[in-house]
Amino acid sequence: MSVKEAADSRPKKRGSVLRFITAIFLTVIVITGIACSVVGYLDVIHDIHDTSSQTAHSVSVILEDMYNSDVVSGNEGLLQADFRRDERMERVSKMLQLLCKDLDLVYLYVFTIDEEEKEYLYYFTAAADEEINEKVSQERGFGTVVPTDSFPQSVLAASKGATNTEVWKNENKYGKVYSWMYPLFDKEGNVRYIVGVDFDATKIENEIFQHTLRTSASIVLILLIMFLLLLILIRRKVLVPIKFVSTKMNRFMDDKERDDTPLDISVNNEVGEIADSFNKMRNDINQYLTEISTLTTERVQTQTQMEIAQRIQYGIVPAETYLNTKSYDAYAVERPCRNVGGDFYDLFVRDGDTLCAAVGDVSGKGVTAALFMVMVRTAIREKLLSGLSPARVLNLINDEICASNPEGLFATVFIAVLHLATGRLEYANAGHTPPVLLGQSETFLKVDSGIPVGLFEDAGIENAERLLAPGEGFLLYTDGVTEAVSKGGQFFGHERVLSATKGKKDARETVISLKADVRTFAEGREQFDDLTILAFFYGTYEPELSLAPQRSEWEKLKAFVLDKTDSSPLQKKLMLICDEIFTNIVSYSGAKKIGFSCEKEARCFTLLFTDDGKPFDPLSEKQNKKDFEEYDMGGMGILLVRQTADSIYYQRHDGQNRLLCRVDISADNKKITI
Amino acid sequence: MTIQTTVNGNSAEIALEGWLDTQTSPELGTAVDELDSSVTDIVLDFKKLDYISSAGLRQIVVIYKKVRSLIIRNVTPEIMEIFRMTGFDKRLNIQ
């Protein structure tokens, strides 16, 4: 985890959606409350203003009515009892006080003004309260004159007959009052008096305040309840599920307490969608996690396996082997590909007289293949050392593998055994790439392809043999050579093998040249298979016995062979072959020199005749069975040789006839036809 | 090789001992040539013959063509094998 990611994963101080919504709601409620108060207040004021002005107006109308009816009835009118306290005045006063009480007025008074003298002239003054009524009746009683500095606008307007006067907020020693002034007209329409109607300002204000408060409070309360309900709803339907999802998500990847059970939310909204997405993501992630873990485990296993396998391989199969004496020259390299492969080779000399070479390719890669390779290689070496023929070695190994092969492993192997005394080469193939015959002209040897060991029981791999002349050699390799791929996608193929080894007379040079060619060819591409190359050349041949082309030399030859063999039917067979071939050479070839070697191998005797006479291939002689009577002219020799020997191989090399005969020691050895 | 020749009238018995090979087979030819011309029947005793090669077989054919009757006696299994390889066993009177 990078530093940045680590920083990001630290829990952040986060705001709460609930708090945010609450803040918005409260703001809305406060604003609404204020708005309601303002509107309510204005409304109430207007209302009260209207009511009080109407009341005041009604009072003035009543008084006006009283006055005018009084005049009509012949009385002096309401106020004609000039400054006297009489019964009628008392009645008027009483009636005004009743009005005060009934209409909830503080004061009710009737007056005139003298604008010039700046005086109020009171006629009647009444108050709702009994005591105050008594008091104001005294202080502002009939005929009381009260000077003033100026008249309020409403008084002046009323004195001029205006009936739409504004309220006069007035505070004096009689308390805080809202006063309305209305003119009192006589029949002629003249302003006779001014009627003053006082309302208790404190009471009105209180009423306004209470009314406003009631209205606003109820609205705020309703809003609050709605908001709470909404909040509960949001919390239950959105926030709680979201929190649940979030907790779940956190715990999903928690190292200590991982909870990867699917989300089960029965919410059918956007949160439900989130839950669905989470569940899908959870499934995907779980799948990826499983895949990644499997891949990682596999990779680690493979890597470990590869390392072990490589160590095994390096330990068992040396990177190169170089053997060189007068009679042989052999070199092998193995270059495992970037990991480890099943390629192997073995190259060693048995008992100082036999060069053993094996090249193989085991199926599969990794430690299994490496162990299998080790097993196969060890078995090959052990069996070759015990003197078994290449085919026998392969068949035995095949049987051993087939007896228990749960992994179904198999290997292609080519084994070649060179008998240094004669140059006889035995080989057997178990499904491997064909070898190249090196020396005079490089060609692929036509060999039986055989069956890879480990595939089928009873592989029936057969031995083959040929005679290597001095300077001839063998090239073995794995398919890493022929199947090397160039940048252009071409295979290295067989032709390039031939051209890379053309004219090479030295094992090391041959191998290095081929390896270099493969490397150049596959330049820029990763080597995808192992590369194993083995080459060997047969060195110089020295015959054990040199004979002159004379019949008398037979005794020498006979003594030599008798000395090399013990008396047995086999000895006679060998003698017969030597007798016939020697006689043949002496009689017909015109040779000047005859070379002879008799080699006892593990399972057979081999006889090699060389002579510098005219070319003569006894194998190409037509086998016309002559009539018995014609045999006095000869012609039985080659027939007997062919019948006696288990194999005959002829070659003409470097001006010499080279004839190799093999006679098997044990009769049960299968006869090999070359 | 040792050659023991016993002549009885017109028949002769030649006992061979040792190796009848490329070197020694002319000796058998000489031995037969040395016989009196009246000898018409020859018996070859191979009882002590250890070895025969094509040169020896050739001499047998020469003798066979020369005389009226040729009998080969006491053939060892090894030599019988060689006769078999060449088909001699079918043409010769082997006892």
Quick: pLDDT tens for A332-375. Answer: 998 765 555 678 999 999 999 999 999 999 887 777 788 888 88
Kindly state the tokens that stand for A407. Answer: 């992994």
Kindly report the CATH number assigned to the domain that includes residue A128.
3.30.450.20
Kindly report the CATH number assigned to the domain that includes residue A415.
3.60.40.10
A338 in reach of chain B (CB within 8 A): no
Burial A468-503 (b: 16+ CB within 10 A, else e): bbbbbbbbbbbbbbbebbeeeeeebeeebbbebbee
Residues A324 and A421 in one domain: yes
Q: Does A640 sit within 8 Å of B54, measured CB to CB?
A: yes
Residues A359 and A451 in one domain: yes
Q: Does position A659 have pLDDT exceeding 90, yes or no?
A: yes
Q: Does B50 sit within 8 Å of A632, measured CB to CB?
A: no
Q: Does position A271 have pLDDT exceeding 90, yes or no?
A: no
How close does chain B come to A586, measured CA to CA in Å? Answer: 11
Look at residues A208, A223, A242 and tell me which one is the last residue of a structural domain: A208
Residues A87 and A160 in one domain: yes
Q: Does position A260 have pLDDT exceeding 80, yes or no?
A: no
Task: Give residue-wise pLDDT tens across range A48-58.
Answer: 788 888 888 88
Residue A204 lies in a domain: yes
Q: How confident is the model at residue A611 (pLDDT cuts 50, 70, 90)?
A: very high
ipTM: 0.93
Residues A517 and A556 in one domain: no
B2 in reach of chain A (CB within 8 A): no
Rounded-to-integer distance, Cα B26 and Cα B7, Å: 20
The residue among A516 and A88 whose pLDDT is bigger is A516
- Please list every residue in chain B whose beta carbon sits closer than 8 Å to the beta carbon of residue A552: 23
Kindly state the tokens that stand for A531. Answer: 């590369």
Q: Does A632 sit within 8 Å of B58, measured CB to CB?
A: yes
Residues A301 and A325 in one domain: no
How close does chain A come to B91, measured CA to CA in Å? Answer: 7
Q: Does A579 sit within 8 Å of B58, measured CB to CB?
A: no
Task: Give residue-wise pLDDT tens across range A174-212.
Answer: 788 888 888 888 888 888 888 888 888 888 888 888 888
Best CA proximity match to A462, nearest among A444, A449, A475: A449
Look at residues A192, A208, A224 and tell me which one is the last residue of a structural domain: A208
Residues 30-89, chain B, touching A (beta carbon < 8 A): 50-51, 53-55, 57-58, 61-62, 64-65, 78, 82, 85-88
How close does chain B come to A576, measured CA to CA in Å? Answer: 6
Residues A496 and A557 in one domain: no
Residues A487 and A571 in one domain: no
Residues A268 and A337 in one domain: no
Residue A184 lies in a domain: yes
Q: Which helix (H) or strand (E) holds A268?
A: none
- The residue of chain B nearest to residue A552, with distances taken between CA atoms, is B23
Q: Does A580 sit within 8 Å of B85, measured CB to CB?
A: no
| Helix/strand/coil for A618 | coil
| pLDDT for the residue numbered A150 | 87
Rounded-to-integer distance, Cα A202 and Cα B23, Å: 171
Q: Span A313-331, mean pLDDT?
A: 87
Residue A255 lies in a domain: no
Q: Span A91-120, mean pLDDT?
A: 86
Residue A358 lies in a domain: yes
Residue linked to tokens 């040539």: B33
Q: How confident is the model at residue A74 (pLDDT cuts 50, 70, 90)?
A: low
- Please list every residue in chain A whose beta carbon sits closer than 8 Å to the beta carbon of residue B26: none
Rounded-to-integer distance, Cα B86 and Cα B84, Å: 5
Percent of chain A with pLDDT over 90: 28
Kindly report the CATH number assigned to the domain that includes residue A621.
3.30.565.10
User: Mutate which of B1, B19, B20, B21 to disrupt the A interface (most A C-beta within 10 Å)?
Assistant: B21
A579 in reach of chain B (CB within 8 A): yes
Residue A222 lies in a domain: no
Rounded-to-integer distance, Cα A565 and Cα B78, Å: 17
Q: Does position A376 have pLDDT exceeding 80, yes or no?
A: yes
- Please list every residue in chain A whose beta carbon sits closer than 8 Å to the beta carbon of residue B54: 579-580, 583, 634, 636-637, 639-640
Q: Does A637 sit within 8 Å of B51, measured CB to CB?
A: no
Q: Does B91 sit within 8 Å of A576, measured CB to CB?
A: no
A637 in reach of chain B (CB within 8 A): yes
| pLDDT for the residue numbered A452 | 94
Q: Span A528-544, mean pLDDT?
A: 88
Whether the CB-CB separation of A664 and A603 falls below 8 Å is answered with yes
* Dihedral sign, Cα of residue A609, residue A612, residue A616, residue A617: positive
- Please list every residue in chain B whose beta carbon sits closer than 8 Å to the beta carbon of residue A632: 58, 61-62, 65
Whether the CB-CB separation of A184 and A63 falls below 8 Å is answered with yes
Rounded-to-integer distance, Cα A428 and Cα A368, Å: 25
Query: A273 is in which domain, residue-wise?
Result: 260-315
| Helix/strand/coil for A640 | helix
Whether the CB-CB separation of A81 and A111 falls below 8 Å is answered with no
Q: Does B21 sit within 8 Å of A558, measured CB to CB?
A: yes
B94 in reach of chain A (CB within 8 A): no
- The residue of chain B nearest to residue A569, with distances taken between CA atoms, is B78
Residues A307 and A328 in one domain: no
Residues A474 and A608 in one domain: no
- Which of A554, A569, A625 is closest, CB to CB, to B22? A554
- Which of B23, B50, B88 is closest, CB to CB, to A551? B23
- Which of B61, B82, B91 is closest, CB to CB, to A640? B82
Cβ-based neighbour number of residue A669 at 10 Å: 16
Q: Does position A526 have pLDDT exceeding 70, yes or no?
A: no
User: Mutate which of B33, B52, B53, B61 to disrupt the A interface (most A C-beta within 10 Å)?
Assistant: B53
Query: Minimum mean pLDDT among A16-25, A80-89, A275-284: which range?
Result: A80-89
Q: Does B85 sit within 8 Å of A640, measured CB to CB?
A: yes
Q: What angle (nearest 5°) sits at the alpha carbon of residue A233, between those of residues A232 and A238?
A: 110
| pLDDT for the residue numbered A608 | 95
Residues A638 and A527 in one domain: no
A41 in reach of chain B (CB within 8 A): no
| pLDDT for the residue numbered A673 | 36
Q: Span B67-93, mean pLDDT?
A: 89
Residues A397 and A479 in one domain: yes
Query: Minimum mean pLDDT among A215-229, A260-274, A354-368: which range?
Result: A260-274
Q: Does A554 sit within 8 Å of B21, measured CB to CB?
A: yes
What domains lie within chain B, and their CATH numbers? 2-94 (3.30.750.24)
Whether the CB-CB separation of A285 and A291 falls below 8 Å is answered with no
Task: Give residue-wise pLDDT tens across range A618-649.
Answer: 887 665 667 777 777 777 888 889 889 999 99
Kindly state the tokens that stand for A431. Answer: 């499904």
Residue A8 lies in a domain: no
| pLDDT for the residue numbered A72 | 67
User: Mutate which of A576, A629, A644 to disrupt the B interface (most B C-beta within 10 Å)?
Assistant: A576
Mean pLDDT of chain A: 84
Q: Does position A79 have pLDDT exceeding 60, yes or no?
A: no
Rounded-to-integer distance, Cα A110 and Cα A108, Å: 7
What is each CA distance from A65 to A94, A101, A154, A198, A253, in whole angstroms? Answer: 17, 20, 22, 20, 94
Q: Does B57 sit within 8 Å of A636, measured CB to CB?
A: yes
Q: Does A637 sit within 8 Å of B54, measured CB to CB?
A: yes
Task: Give residue-wise pLDDT tens across range A451-503.
Answer: 999 999 888 999 999 999 999 999 999 988 888 888 888 889 888 999 888 88
For residue A485, give the DSSP letter. B
Look at residues A538, A563, A597 and tell me which one is the last residue of a structural domain: A538
- Please list every residue in chain B whose beta carbon sits closer than 8 Å to the beta carbon of residue A575: 21, 51, 53
Best CA proximity match to B44, nearest among B7, B70, B82: B70
Residue A244 lies in a domain: no
Q: Span A160-170, mean pLDDT?
A: 81
Q: Total structural domains in chain A?
A: 4
Task: Give residue-wise pLDDT tens across range B2-50.
Answer: 899 998 888 899 999 999 988 898 899 999 888 888 888 999 999 999 8
Whether the CB-CB separation of A473 and A535 falls below 8 Å is answered with yes
Residue A12 lies in a domain: no
Query: Minimum mean pLDDT among A258-267, A326-335, A438-447, A571-580: which range?
Result: A258-267
Task: Give residue-wise pLDDT tens across range A389-442.
Answer: 999 999 999 999 999 888 889 999 999 999 999 999 999 999 999 999 998 788
| pLDDT for the residue numbered A423 | 93
CB half-sphere exposure, A620, CA atoms < 13 A = 7
Best CA proximity match to A420, nearest among A574, A534, A542: A542
